[in-house]
A and B are shown apart, each in its own frame.
Chain A
Amino acid sequence: MSDNDGSAADLGWQNARIIRIEPRTATIKSFFFQLPVPLRHRAGQHVDVRLTAPDGYTAMRSYSIASAPDGTDIIELAIERIETGEVSPFFDDVAAVGDDIELRGPLGGHFVWRPADAGPLLLIGAGSGLVPLLAMLRQRRDVDSDTPAALLLASRTWSDVLYADELLVESERPHGMQLRFALSRQAPQRPQDYGRRIDAAMLAEVIGLLPAAPAAVFICGSNGFVNTAADAVLAAGVHATAVRTERYGG
Chain B
Amino acid sequence: MVTRGFTGRPKGAEPTNRIPPGQHLVDYFPVLSAGPTPRIEPENWRFTLKVGPRPIKTWSWDEFNALPMTKMVRDIHCVTTWSMLDTQWEGVLVDDILADAFIEPPTGFTLAHSFDGYSTNVPTADLTTGKAMVALKYAGKPLERDHGGPARLLVPHLYFWKSAKWVNGLQFTERDEAGFWELRGYHIYGDPWREQRYTSD
Mark A residues whose CB is within 8 Å of B. 3-4, 7-8, 11, 15, 50-55, 57-62, 86, 90, 94-95, 99-102, 107-111, 223, 227, 230-231, 233-234, 240-241, 243-245, 247, 249-250
Contact = CB atoms under 8 A, between A and B. Distances in A.
B45 interface: no
A62 B198 CA distance: 13
A249 B30 contact: yes
26 contacts: A4-B185, A8-B198, A8-B199, A11-B201, A51-B6, A53-B8, A59-B6, A60-B22, A62-B81, A86-B10, A86-B13, A90-B5, A100-B4, A109-B185, A110-B181, A110-B184, A111-B34, A227-B146, A230-B37, A231-B36, A240-B35, A240-B36, A244-B34, A245-B36, A247-B31, A250-B82
Contacts of B194: none
B142 interface: no
Interface of B: 1-10, 13, 15, 21-22, 24, 30-38, 78, 80-82, 116-117, 146, 180-181, 183-185, 198-201
A230 B34 CA distance: 11
Contact of B146 (A61, A99, A223, A244): A223
B6 A108 contact: no
A241 B117 CA distance: 9
B92 to A, nearest CB: 27
Contacts of A102: 1, 3
A245 B33 contact: yes
Given A52-B1, A230-B35, A250-B31, A4 B183 contact: yes
A57 B2 contact: no
Contacts, number: 116
A95 B35 CA distance: 34
B30 A245 contact: no
Contacts of A108: 184-185
A240 B180 CA distance: 16
Given A4-B184, A52-B1, A110 B34 contact: yes
- Closest CB pairs A-B (n = 8): A53-B8, A109-B184, A250-B30, A7-B185, A8-B199, A230-B36, A94-B5, A223-B31
A108 B199 CA distance: 11
Contacts of B1: 15, 52, 100, 102
Contacts of B6: 51-53, 59, 90, 94
Nearest to A223: B31
Nearest to A57: B8
Contacts of B10: 86
Nearest to A104: B198
B41 to A, nearest CB: 16
B179 to A, nearest CB: 12
Given A3-B184, A52-B1, A100-B1, A61 B32 contact: no
A234 B198 CA distance: 32
B35 A8 contact: no
